[in-house]
């Protein structure tokens, strides 16, 4: 029973983290049909911001990093994606690869390619006991941060004017414009939120691993892409649910597989992903939005 | 109130010409029909006026302002609203959210609320369904929502692209009745339809578009009795109840 609590909390924590990663990607995909590979670089750079701000207190690190990464995301849209907004999905995807590689290589030029240790949130790496079960503090914080941010974004999308405009643009961009929704503004807002979410993912991932490399952002971003596809491209709720399911599945495999196979749990998770897509190509909550955005 | 003036408009998709040398005019307070068979370029014309399809050459002006190269979000701000083909309501948003989005360009909050009440009075089914997802509405209800959403912008010119498509005959009757009401209330309307007979009946003037060109302008409904005309330009299209 105590194991169930320990693993349950680990599963929820991984699920929440992957849900956050997925939301950042799904927001951009929804509003401009862009599979934004640059999200990888945003998550990585968030980690390096923590390193750069090393000696500051954590609220300062969090605030500055969120602002910097959100601005970087908005700037990327302005410089790289806006000029080719009407281009087809393949062009957008290749551009996002280019942007991602560019940022990553600039980072290597400045910070080097070697692995660097970061003591961020080190005090969270302890466990405490709930009814005899050992619970990781960081896992509880991750659950709290994930739920908090998901709730915040949901409230924004539901209750604010800009949020409703963003949802409308996600469903039918051209029609939203014909009603007066300002395309540039809505897309910039989506990028800012996505950048903020990337920063949140970097905090949680960096605290967990305690180290950074120029490819730190790759794994969470890939999970985000996969989650978006499983959820059904274009459905935000679907993407978050997909991310959550992936995270939970990762922990379940880790626990349930024999010890020799456990390190390869991702292989099992992704095997399920492709089997799922063979059976249900439109994803779990398929919105069928993989058509050209007009 | 401004006049919509289109002169010598050409629109091409790649090498395929969709409109050649189209010139039409919609004056203040008029209800103008635009009929023609499938592929005549009717939707292209609407989309070009709304700013979502670029013109190759020619002029589109609303009052003194040219609409060529202007963003769609600005064109609606200038008073031109569209009820697009296929309705294009936001199915994953509530009915109320759809309506509020219709008023995106407006800053007169209090009057928006009044207009919402007015729209609900005209289309009571939308009031009852306010918090429902728009995707759950029936086809006829969705068409009411699309028209109501466009009205929320308080348009000076309302363009409707095939609003009768896919509706049951009784609902089509209702829809033409709403349009006549709107017209009598002073809204300028450009009505694009395949249902030529009905359109010529309700409109002040009707243009016949065929193969990307204005084939004819019908000044009054007497001309509609000219069955020869309907056969020439509209063929089966006028027979089809759609």
pLDDT in tens, chain B (242 residues): 678 999 999 999 888 889 999 999 999 999 999 999 888 899 999 999 999 999 999 999 999 999 999 999 999 999 999 999 999 999 999 999 999 999 999 988 899 999 999 999 989 999 999 899 999 999 889 999 999 999 999 999 999 999 998 888 888 998 899 899 999 988 999 999 988 888 998 999 999 999 999 988 888 656 555 555 666 666 544 444 44
- DSSP-assigned beta bridge partners for residue A55: none
First to last CA, chain B: 34
Contact at CB, B71 and A181, closer than 8 angstroms: no
> Average pLDDT for residues A274-285, to the nearest whole number?
83
| DSSP E strand boundaries for A91-247 | 116-117, 127-130, 133-136, 211-212
Across the A:B interface, residue pairs with CB atoms under 8 Å apart total: 63
Q: How close, in Å, is residue B200 to chain A by CA atoms?
A: 27
| Chain B positions in Cβ-Cβ contact with residue A171 (cut-off 8 Å) | 90-93
pLDDT recorded at residue A287 = 54
Dist. CA B206–CA B214, nearest whole Å: 10
Q: Which class for A278: exposed (0-12), middle (13-18), buried (19 or more C-beta within 10 A)?
A: exposed
Q: If DSSP codes are grouped into helix, strand and coil, which group holds residue B211?
A: coil
pTM, to two decimals: 0.87
**CB under 8 A, 24+ apart: contacts of B231-239:** B233/B36, B233/B37, B233/B208, B234/B35, B234/B36, B234/B37, B234/B196, B234/B208, B235/B37, B236/B37, B237/B35, B237/B36, B237/B37, B237/B38, B237/B194, B237/B196, B238/B35, B238/B194, B238/B195, B238/B196, B238/B197
pLDDT tens column, A169-189 = 989 999 999 999 999 999 999
Average pLDDT in the A53-68 region? 92
State how beta strands B16-26 and B31-35 pair.
Answer: unpaired
Residues of chain B positioned with their CB less than 8 A from the CB of A180: 73, 76-77, 104-105, 153
Q: Are B73 and A294 a contacting pair at CB < 8 A?
A: no
Q: Rounded to an integer, what distance in angstroms lies between the CA atom of residue A278 and that of residue A259?
A: 29
Tallying the residues shown for chain A, one arrives at: 294
ipTM for the predicted complex: 0.89
Structure tokens at A111: 């910070």
Which SS3 state, helix, strand or coil, does residue B108 take? coil
Q: Which of B50, B93, B100 sits opposite A178 (nearest CB)?
A: B50
Indicate whether A263 pLDDT > 90: no
Average pLDDT of chain A?
Answer: 90
> Smallest CA–CA separation between B152 and chain A, in Å?
10
B68, with CB counted inside 10 A (0-12, 13-18, 19+), is: middle
């Amino acid at each position: 029973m105590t194991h169930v609590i320990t693993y349950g909390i680990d599963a929820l924590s991984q699920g929440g983290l992957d849900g956050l990663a997925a939301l950042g990607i799904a927001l951009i995909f929804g509003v401009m049909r862009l599979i934004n590979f640059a999200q990888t670089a945003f998550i990585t750079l968030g980690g390096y911001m923590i390193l750069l701000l090393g000696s500051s207190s954590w609220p300062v690190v969090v605030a500055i990093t969120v602002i910097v990464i959100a601005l970087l995301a908005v700037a990327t849209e302005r410089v790289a994606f806006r000029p080719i907004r009407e281009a087809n999905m393949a062009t957008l995807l290749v551009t996002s690869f280019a942007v991602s590689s560019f940022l990553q290589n600039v980072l290597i030029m400045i910070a080097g390619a070697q692995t660097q240790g970061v003591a961020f949130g080190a005090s969270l790496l302890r466990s405490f006991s709930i009814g005899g079960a050992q619970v990781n503090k960081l896992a509880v914080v991750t659950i709290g941060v994930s739920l908090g941010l998901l709730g915040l974004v949901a409230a924004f999308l539901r209750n604010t004017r800009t949020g409703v405009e963003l949802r409308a643009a996600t469903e039918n961009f051209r029609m939203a414009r014909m009603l007066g929704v300002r395309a540039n503004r809505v897309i910039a807002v989506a990028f800012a939120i996505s950048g903020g979410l990337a920063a949140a993912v970097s905090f949680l991932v960096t605290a967990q691993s305690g180290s950074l490399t120029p490819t730190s952002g790759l794994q969470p971003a890939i999970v985000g892409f996969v989650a978006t596809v499983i959820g059904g491209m274009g459905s935000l709720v679907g993407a978050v649910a997909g991310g959550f399911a992936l995270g939970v599945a990762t922990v379940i495999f880790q626990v349930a597989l024999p010890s020799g196979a456990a390190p390869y749990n991702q292989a099992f998770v992704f095997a399920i992903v492709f089997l799922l897509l063979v059976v249900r190509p439109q994803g779990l909550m398929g919105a069928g939005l993989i058509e050209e955005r007009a | 109130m401004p006049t919509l003036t289109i002169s010598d408009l050409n629109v091409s998709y790649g090498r395929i010409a969709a409109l050649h040398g189209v010139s039409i005019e919609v004056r203040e307070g008029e209800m103008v029909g635009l009929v023609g068979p499938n592929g005549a370029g009717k939707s292209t014309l609407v989309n070009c006026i709304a700013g979502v399809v670029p013109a190759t050459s020619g002029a589109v002006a609303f009052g003194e302002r040219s609409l060529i190269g202007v963003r769609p979000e600005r064109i609606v701000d200038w008073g031109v609203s569209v009820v697009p083909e296929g309705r294009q309501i936001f199915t994953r948003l509530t009915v109320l959210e759809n309506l509020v989005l219709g008023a995106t360009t407006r800053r007169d909050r209090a009057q928006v609320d009044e207009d919402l009440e007015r729209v609900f009075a005209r289309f009571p089914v939308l009031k009852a369904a306010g918090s429902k997802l728009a995707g759950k509405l029936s086809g006829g209800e969705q068409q009411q929502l699309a028209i109501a959403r466009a009205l929320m912008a308080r348009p000076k010119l309302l363009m409707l692209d095939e609003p009768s498509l896919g509706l049951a005959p009784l609902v089509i009757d209702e829809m033409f009745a709403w349009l006549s009401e709107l017209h009598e209330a002073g809204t300028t309307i450009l009505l694009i339809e395949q249902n030529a007979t009905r359109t010529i009946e309700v409109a002040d003037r009707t243009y016949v578009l065929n193969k990307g060109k204005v084939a004819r302008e019908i000044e009054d409904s007497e001309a509609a009795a000219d069955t020869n005309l309907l056969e020439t330009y509209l063929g089966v299209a006028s027979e089809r109840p759609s």
